């Protein structure tokens, strides 16, 4: 067992929950075999 002082820090969410939870996000993109597939989303 790892002592408490050597435990890694708790993870930090970098995005609001509405973007990071599967099924809650309204962000959509279509990936194609011949496309550039570079998607930019304006996250607020």
Q: Is 42 left (phi over 0), alpha (psi -120 to 50) or beta?
A: beta
Show Cβ contacts of residue 31 under 8 Å, excluding neighbours closer than 6 positions: 37
- Asked whether 27 and 41 are in contact (CB, 8 A), the reply is yes
**DSSP structural state of residue 34:** T
- Asked whether 18 and 24 are in contact (CB, 8 A), the reply is yes
pTM comes to 0.43
Residue 13 is predicted with a pLDDT of 85
User: Which pLDDT tens digit goes with each residue over 1-44?
Assistant: 889 899 999 999 888 888 888 888 888 899 999 989 999 988 77
């Amino acid at each position: 067992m790892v002592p408490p002082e050597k435990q890694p820090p708790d993870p930090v969410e970098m995005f609001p929950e509405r973007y990071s939870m599967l099924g809650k996000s309204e962000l959509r993109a279509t990936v194609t075999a011949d496309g550039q597939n570079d998607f930019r989303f304006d996250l607020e």
